[in-house]
Amino acid sequence: MQVGDTAQLAAWFCDEDDPKQLQKWRKKDCRKHMEASAEMHGVLLGKIEFYELEPGEGQAGHPPEDRSGTDWKLLVAEAKVIGHRAPENQVTFIQDLDPKDLTTLRNITRTAYTRYQPASLTYLSDEACDEIIEGLSCDVIEAMIAEAYHATKH
């Protein structure tokens, strides 16, 4: 998976399914599976968005034939790949940064994340910011620091 790709996970639900099961899938199971997949692929995901498809709509296909029920919906979860994870136990770029520059980059990362994910109430921890920063190229990081420096001078 590359930055900009979309990760997807989908599951069929019908009127016979317990609404609590659907809520659990949305809030817990789906996120757990998407995070595990992202980790396996060495990437970081942005905010997870959900939408529903009717049978046969778009790429939905048809619901499973081995289950009874009507009013089938395919619940789809999507998230953009926003960066790459740094391999564990590897010397990383951020280890060589001046603490002031690292703080600046973390603040820029948080600002950009909330700008592009306004509905998200998620606060990015320092560790999450560091993972995103590690996935960026040196040119992008230099530009971010220069932009922040020039913004404080005006």
pLDDT at 11 over 80: yes
Upper half-sphere CA count for residue 64 (Cβ side, 13 Å)? 8
Which of helix, strand or coil describes residue 43?
Answer: strand
pTM of the model: 0.56
pLDDT in tens, 25-48: 888 888 889 888 888 888 888 888
- Residue 6: which pLDDT band, with cuts at 50, 70 and 90? very high
Between CA 115 and CA 123, with CA 117 as vertex, the angle to 5 degrees is: 90
Residue 15 is predicted with a pLDDT of 84
Name the token pair of 62: 């048809």
Residue 118 is predicted with a pLDDT of 62
- Residue 129: which pLDDT band, with cuts at 50, 70 and 90? confident
Query: Is residue 142 a contact partner of residue 104, using CB atoms and an 8 Å limit?
Result: no
Q: Which part of the chain is CATH 3.30.110?
A: 1-85
Q: Which residues of 30-46 are buried (b: 16+ CB within 10 A; e: fewer)?
A: bbeebeebbeebebbbb
| Mean pLDDT, the chain, integer | 82
Q: What is the mean pLDDT of residues 1-20?
A: 87
Using only C-alpha atoms, the chain has a radius of gyration, in whole angstroms, of 20
pLDDT at 10 over 70: yes
pLDDT in tens, 67-118: 888 889 999 999 988 888 766 656 567 877 888 888 988 888 888 777 766 6
Architecture of the 1-85 domain: 2-Layer Sandwich (3.30)
Residue 29 is predicted with a pLDDT of 87
Name the token pair of 144: 């971010």
